[in-house]
């Protein structure tokens, strides 16, 4: 996937497939500095879902949401 949009100071991330993700509040200091069009991995494990930026290797914890701009 790649990052299509960053909304609300990094609290909402929208991927190329249109899926929207709410970033946990303690991780917005990371996602707010990501760049649109960055390659993103979606990873699910026992702790939940994370989006990982392929460029810098940093991860944020997220929840899938329905988001209308």
pLDDT tens-digit series, residues 13-63:
999 999 999 999 999 999 999 999 999 999 998 989 999 999 999 999 999
Half-sphere exposure of 44 (CA within 13 A, CB side): 2
Contacts of 49 (CB under 8 A, 6+ apart): 21, 42, 43, 61, 62, 63, 64
Pull the structure tokens for residue 50: 């994370």
Decide if 58 contacts 27 (C-beta within 8 A).
no
**DSSP annotation string for 12-30:** EEEETTS-EEEEPGGGHHH
pLDDT at residue number 4: 97
């Amino acid at each position: 996937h790649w990052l299509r949009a960053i909304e609300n100071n990094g609290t909402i991330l929208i991927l190329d497939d249109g899926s929207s993700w709410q970033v946990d509040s303690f991780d917005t200091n990371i996602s707010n500095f990501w760049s649109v069009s960055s390659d993103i991995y979606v990873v699910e494990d026992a702790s939940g879902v994370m989006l990982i930026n392929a460029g810098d290797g940093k991860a944020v914890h997220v929840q899938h949401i329905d988001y209308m701009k």
